[in-house]
Structure 1
């Protein structure tokens, strides 16, 4: 081939003195594996010279616009008159290297095109997701073997089961983004909270990145949580007993009462509800409560890892009714005594007919003598025209009438009214 180019070069006339040339001496082309590589070659003033493409092993691929190599992936494209671009379809990683575009000048002129082939990351091994079983307290290793050019990095993530999206876990060494780059992730002392879906993502800057999911299932014995340990209900009503069971694999859960298993009957209704990951609620409905229904009920849960139970007490709730409050009304009658004694105007008025009373030393006939029984500390004093109640003294006055202004003072009347009212209230 080069002999032909040399002979052709001798026949070229350079009367005009124009020398052919390339636009750029070196071109770098980077292509993703599987795509089509375009190696450019633009020549100015080619004249009667010829162009040929060779690879790094000096193999002639094309002459002018004709493919020479027996590989239909190669072709020469001429979008413009001075362009002699080499196309390689379905590029493989082995195609990368140095390619040259040459002209049969003296000396031979060459344009170099460097082909770089990058390979997207891939994870080798099992295709699709897989499940890794581990018992609580043990260690587990998750592996993602990857390939790619340039070598990819592997980042591990843990998917969150909450609707709010990924968040850090408080119970497991691994977080939502573990931040560990490498093909292997090892979790020590696994707890039930480490279970879930882990994802390894391989990335080397070449799109698309590759990912694989691995589910970690942690086996642990059942746990029971009761909303309350004691519940009360009125006789004749119905009640519901709830028992929340968390376990993996899922536990077999039943209610026991007085040594027998409770199943669905007219009296009892047993239902199971999904509560959360690996958690269920075992609900027992008891209808028409009687005296025999009160007592201790046991929730029992068991799986391949163990068994546990918890008790709930059902007691009779007695509603205490209180009598309505009573109102007592106390009526106090107030009696007012009004005494209006007449004053002595003259002797004729004082000598009106009235019962004559002979006062003796031992006799007490005046009403004030009775008052003296309630007022022993305040005896009535003797005056000229008053009847004294002290001892054997007698009246010296000629008139037995008693003047009110000398007989009653304000203090004595007030004391009398209070004393009389007290006696009436007590009686």
Structure 2
């Protein structure tokens, strides 16, 4: 019997390793003596006996860097290798050291259950799926790669942007975009990460289709005969539309094509979904003035807008020629009514001794013109009428004094009649 009892350096251990790496399960024994060491798994399957492998798995071996070490190595460890392993010494009772093996699995995207590139129509609901696996369970974050135009990022209410890659703000394996617009048609990226490097991603192209839309920089253009003129229209569509210029001739239209020395039709690409169609009139004639139509059509719809080319010289002449209207000046003579109807006021009756009643009638108040004002003569007045009106005005001006004088004389007469003078 051995004098010393075998012991482990520690009763248990935890080992965490990334899938595909080599897992080292430690087991160090002191004072082993003639005892023997074996490794078993959680199902009590014998894996090794001393330093020899028992199972038919070449990934498993016992490594002894030092004489007291009996470490179990599992190369290219898989998630199925995760679990409890026991290092045992054949003592009575058996001594056991338990090692818990945790195998972490990096995030992985399952292609067959994830979304491919999509081409929805504007207004539809789009569902993007990024199916992932991993231990622990990965977190999926969605990003949108903003398409730049002239160095500026495309603006969108649904898809805010700050950099070339913008977080959509939603986490999860499924991203649903309701009522998608053309401004959200970009590359979407799902990134899965569970803390076990590396993170993994997947790109999904969303190409939103919509019918053609035409915008005109100008709806009316004036030009002089003999000059060159360029008509332009901008077309936005996805897929790209068939575009052409038409000329309105009465009730029907005819397509305008390139004619050497006369017309030239050119097409310019602005960005992914926009083009500019220009019609160059090299020499404007009187027959060219009229309505031109820009038309675009695709499998999703059609749009057209019209533009008017007019004669600038004729338009300028019509604006500079003015007609002076003839107006008859009618002078209206306004007569200031200085004469008002006379109004009689009866004075109190005064009776003489014979019973006769004396009544004094006075002229009612009249509105006199301001000092220095004169009545304007009318068209039909003669010099004699004007002179007579002047005398009448003068008479009316002195009439109140005359009336007062008459009134005083009347009072004196009444007094004399009532009180006769005494006889001598």
Structure 2 length normalisation: TM-score?
A: 0.66
Taking the TM superposition and a 5 Å limit, the aligned residue runs for 1:75-224 are: 75-126=61-112, 130-162=116-148, 169-172=155-158, 176-224=166-214
2:259 corresponds to which residue?
265
| Residues 64-113 of structure 1: per-residue CA shift (max 9 Å, x gap) | 22111111111112223322221112212111000111222333222211
1:242 corresponds to which residue?
232
Partner Cα distance (2:245, 2:211) in 1:
18
Partner Cα distance (2:125, 2:173) in 1:
17
Partner Cα distance (1:77, 1:234) in 2:
97
Which of the numbers 25, 32, 40 marks the counterpart of 1:46?
A: 32
Cα 1:65–1:179, aligned 2, differ >3 Å: closer, same or farther? same
For the aligned residue pairs, the C-alpha RMSD in angstroms reads 2.7
Partner Cα distance (2:258, 2:32) in 1:
96
Which of the numbers 281, 290, 300 marks the counterpart of 1:286?
A: 281
Contact 2:86–2:98 (CA<8 Å) still a contact in 1? yes
Partner Cα distance (1:30, 1:199) in 2:
30
Cα 1:79–1:293, aligned 2, differ >3 Å: closer, same or farther? farther
Contact 1:159–1:166 (CA<8 Å) still a contact in 2? no
Instruction: For structure 2, list consecutive stretches of 5 or more residues without a partner in the other structure.
Output: 317-424
Partner Cα distance (2:152, 2:78) in 1:
39
Cα 1:152–1:160, aligned 2, differ >3 Å: closer, same or farther? same
SS of match in other structure, 2:80: helix
1:411 corresponds to which residue?
none
Partner Cα distance (1:166, 1:98) in 2:
58
Partner Cα distance (2:149, 2:108) in 1:
30
For residue 237 of structure 1, report the CA deviation from its aligned partner. Answer: 3.3
Cα 1:178–1:116, aligned 2, differ >3 Å: closer, same or farther? same
What is the count of residue pairs matched by the alignment?
A: 306
For residue 163 of structure 1, report the CA deviation from its aligned partner. Answer: 6.9
Partner Cα distance (2:171, 2:155) in 1:
19
Partner Cα distance (2:7, 2:70) in 1:
13
Partner Cα distance (1:82, 1:116) in 2:
25
For residue 114 of structure 1, report the CA deviation from its aligned partner. Answer: 0.6
SS of match in other structure, 1:292: helix
Contact 1:30–1:116 (CA<8 Å) still a contact in 2? yes
Mean CA deviation greater in 47-56 or 245-254: 47-56
For residue 167 of structure 1, report the CA deviation from its aligned partner. Answer: 6.9
For residue 316 of structure 1, report the CA deviation from its aligned partner. Answer: 4.1
Structure 1 length normalisation: TM-score?
A: 0.65
SS of match in other structure, 2:183: helix
Contact 1:33–1:118 (CA<8 Å) still a contact in 2? yes
Partner Cα distance (1:164, 1:60) in 2:
69
Contact 2:39–2:49 (CA<8 Å) still a contact in 1? yes
Instruction: For structure 1, list consecutive stretches of 5 or more residues without a partner in the other structure.
Output: 1-12, 321-427
Contact 2:130–2:190 (CA<8 Å) still a contact in 1? yes
